[in-house]
Homo-oligomer: A and B are copies of this chain.
Amino acid sequence: MVPYKQVIVVRTDIEMSRGKLAAQVAHAAVTALEETRRRRPDWVQQWFEEGQKKVVLQCRDLQELLQLYEKAKSLGLPAVLVEDAGRTELPPGTVTCLGIGPAPEELVNRVTGHLKLLR
């Protein structure tokens, strides 16, 4: 069985409370899931059967986040950028994170394999 995972990458150059950060990551997880469900429902089903592995990684800044997004798209991976609505801590439209998949682990690693876990 191919292992599947979903990855969420967070910018570390903007200040967010833990609650804001968690809400943005959850938003990315749900939105990437729905995008994958539309395009690869078989991946979604496999991922749920395997226990929905999720990994939260960090990147430097917006530029790096956008490069990762383009790389994911170029490999045919379902990928979404999350913008904060900006009602509270951040300016409206601030891109906070990137959600990829769920997708085959090997394919996702080609995009995010070099990134560190968010601590």
Q: How many copies does the complex hold?
A: 2
Rounded to whole angstroms, the CA-CA distance of A9 and B61 in the bound complex is 29
Interface residues of A (CB under 8 A from B): 8, 10, 17-23, 25-31, 33-34, 48, 51-52, 54-58, 85, 117-119
Nearest residue in B to A58 (C-beta to C-beta)? Answer: B19
A19 touches B54 (CB 8 A): no
In Å, the complex CA distance between A117 and B22 comes to: 11
Contact of A17 among B26, B52, B85, B118 (CB under 8 A): B118
Contacts A19-B118, A118-B19, A119-B18 known; A25 to B25 CB distance under 8 Å? yes
Contact of A30 among B10, B22, B52, B56 (CB under 8 A): B52
- Which residues of chain B have C-beta atoms less than 8 A from A21's C-beta? 18, 21-22
A51 → B minimal CB distance (Å): 8
Candidates B10, B18, B25, B30; contact of A33 at CB < 8 Å: B30
Which one of B8, B17, B55, B57 lies within 8 Å of A119 (CB-CB)?
Answer: B17
Q: What are 18 pairs between A and B in contact, CB < 8 Å?
A: A8-B22, A8-B23, A10-B22, A18-B118, A19-B56, A19-B57, A19-B117, A21-B21, A22-B22, A22-B25, A22-B118, A23-B56, A25-B26, A26-B28, A26-B30, A29-B29, A29-B30, A34-B48
